[in-house]
Amino acid sequence: MLKAPDHQVAGHQARDGSLGPLVDGSGHFYKPLQNLDRGSKELAFYTSFNSMNGIPPRIRRFFPSFHGSETFQASDGSGLLPHLVLEDLVFGRKNPSIMDVKIGSRTWYPGVSDDYIQKCFTKDMKTTSMSLGFRLSGLQVYGSEESGYWKPSKKAVQSFTVEDVRLALRKFVSSDVGWASDKDTLPDCSLATRIYGGPSGVLAQLIELKEWFEDQTIFHFNSCSVLVLYEKESALRGKTHGAAVKLVDFAHVLDGNGIIDHNFLGGLCSLIKFISGIVAEANKALHGLESSADGLELH
Amino acid sequence: MLKAPDHQVAGHQARDGSLGPLVDGSGHFYKPLQNLDRGSKELAFYTSFNSMNGIPPRIRRFFPSFHGSETFQASDGSGLLPHLVLEDLVFGRKNPSIMDVKIGSRTWYPGVSDDYIQKCFTKDMKTTSMSLGFRLSGLQVYGSEESGYWKPSKKAVQSFTVEDVRLALRKFVSSDVGWASDKDTLPDCSLATRIYGGPSGVLAQLIELKEWFEDQTIFHFNSCSVLVLYEKESALRGKTHGAAVKLVDFAHVLDGNGIIDHNFLGGLCSLIKFISGIVAEANKALHGLESSADGLELH
């Protein structure tokens, strides 16, 4: 009954005998505990977070729900392995468009080995992490029934420049898929005001999350990702599009010790600025100059 | 007529034949152009910033006013040297209390030499920059006519731990000076609500600055400091205390290229969180639990 997820855009994949997460087709996502102590750290985070009082519901909704751990045969056939039992975030979604955005200009943190620092540091410099405060770890953008998904390879995403990231954030909310195959076709951003903008859109959710990060000193979310999801077909038909922001990957979470996570917060603000820029531009295009302030409303 | 400033808390000092800034006693601060290309970079920043349209007055007030450059005999007697002519930020202030807070968890930036990166990196790790997102570069806190200033040495300030920083931020707004000489006397934070809090206090100014940093993508203020100043005697007498926040040191400013300065912003938010915590606590102590929300008003 367990199988590799259909819509995974980043991380290890349970295909061709490799170790990766599995889904049960009824709303659960099973994530194998990673080697070293990362898996147990992530389990400890979910356990602690789950039992914590004082996390308001408006913040708790950003986290996948957690249902403990279960031990069973791992996807690579290597034997019994404990798995985190999490909410399958794409369950029930038809043709979801998904972005995995790793937040923070620095993905390492004090206390880890010099080798690990060096590895992370090199990758932060090579990707847009250092310059933008975030990088894309993976994405899939649904086009249409004919064109299917635009899903650049892991290698392609890893070599994204700042301009590539800017473009990908536009493509994510564009109806036209000509841009997937033709470099000269610019994304139309026709869904920007509805998916990114609006009172329950991505931008509003990111700002809610940001306000929490300005205040919370419980956790430092090192090397953690923001997942952005929505359903394009529903959006185009004017139906509920399920635009959602979720936090995932907690293998490197540390205690905040009374200090805010300024590394995550800075990167999150940078992502917010990019997305609010796209919304402002789309509003301007839709309504003309006189209402251009609308897009900036959420600044 | 030119002399070394009385109230300099960080940076090179024009004493004992060394190279440093000078003041003219009538409101001007002369900063020698530093070696390498730092001096010319700072001059270029001030020149560009000064002539820039679109910087609102509420933001411009955070910057020292700039009056071009003048060439004269340097303080170390080494010959003629160009000096930036800036506003003397402590001019007319009686016994000013001053903190120099270097903002950012990272003081280096891409494009500099490996040696420079390594030097900055080591210092960021040794000081609180990496953990807090900012470090104290220097401070002087006025006590009273009898006690004078508490002005820890450069070396002492550089070895401040997170707890030392937290304590210094409290001492800065305390009337009791017992703490300067006696480790068991805790600072009373009796001026916290007036200097840090209130509609024109330090916190309100820092939040105004933060809002600009969430939006501005013109400059990246690498290795730049926030200077916090006020006059304690006036504050204690209920008079205008001149609480002010200023930005200084622009030798490492780079173009923002359409990206916010997430490194500065994250550190600034961390400083804001520390200071708002002190205000909230002071409000609680003053008015009891029922009005504790006042201190959080500005979050």
Task: Find the DSSP H helices in chain A.
Answer: 38-50, 57-60, 114-126, 129-132, 154-158, 162-171, 178-181, 192-195, 202-213, 232-236, 262-287
Residue A13 CA to residue A8 CA, distance in Å, equals 8
Residue A171 token pair: 């493509």
- pLDDT one-digit tens code per residue, B46-100: 999 999 998 999 999 999 999 999 999 999 888 899 999 999 999 999 999 999 9
Under 8 Å CB pairs connecting chains A and B tally to 76
Asked if A85 contacts A30 with a C-beta cutoff of 8 angstroms, the reply is yes
- pLDDT one-digit tens code per residue, A160-206: 999 999 999 999 999 877 877 777 788 999 999 999 999 999 999 99
Please give the single-letter amino acid code of residue A271. Answer: L
Model ipTM value = 0.92
- CB spacing of B273 vs A105 below 8 angstroms: no
Residue B38 CA to residue B289 CA, distance in Å, equals 50
Per-domain boundaries in chain B: 22-87, 96-296
Report the chain A residue with the minimal C-alpha distance to residue B276.
A215
**From the list B262, B270, B272, which residue is nearest A269 (CB)?**
B262
- CB spacing of A273 vs B162 below 8 angstroms: no
Degrees to nearest 5, angle at CA A243 with A212 and A211: 10
- pLDDT one-digit tens code per residue, B114-168: 999 999 999 999 999 999 999 999 999 999 888 899 999 999 999 999 999 999 9
Q: Which residues are CB-contacts of A270 (< 8 A; sequence separation ≥ 6)?
A: A132, A133, A134, B259, B260, B262
- CB spacing of A269 vs B217 below 8 angstroms: no
- CB spacing of B259 vs A214 below 8 angstroms: no
List, edge to edge, every strand of the sheet that includes A244-248. Answer: A148-150, A134-144, A96-103, A225-231, A244-248
Asked if A207 contacts A298 with a C-beta cutoff of 8 angstroms, the reply is yes
The CATH architecture to which B96-296 belongs is 2-Layer Sandwich (3.30)
**From the list A215, A257, A265, which residue is nearest B266 (CB)?**
A265
Helices (H) and strands (E) in chain B, counts: 11, 11
Q: Using CB atoms within 10 A of its CB, is residue B276 exposed (0-12), middle (13-18) or buried (19+)? A: buried
- pLDDT one-digit tens code per residue, A228-261: 999 999 988 888 889 999 999 999 999 999 999 9
- pLDDT one-digit tens code per residue, A79-132: 899 999 999 999 999 999 999 999 999 999 988 999 999 999 999 999 999 999
- CB spacing of A106 vs B110 below 8 angstroms: no
Report the chain B residue with the minimal C-alpha distance to residue A276.
B215
- pLDDT one-digit tens code per residue, B172-191: 999 877 877 777 788 999 99
Residue B94 CA to residue A84 CA, distance in Å, equals 62
**Residue recorded with tokens 């954030």:** A169
Neighbours of A173 (CB within 10 A): 30
Chain B residue numbers touching A130 (CB-CB < 8 A) = 110
**From the list A105, A259, A272, which residue is nearest B131 (CB)?**
A259
- CB spacing of B262 vs A130 below 8 angstroms: no
In chain A, what is the straight-line distance between the N-terminal and C-terminal CA atoms, in Å? Answer: 46
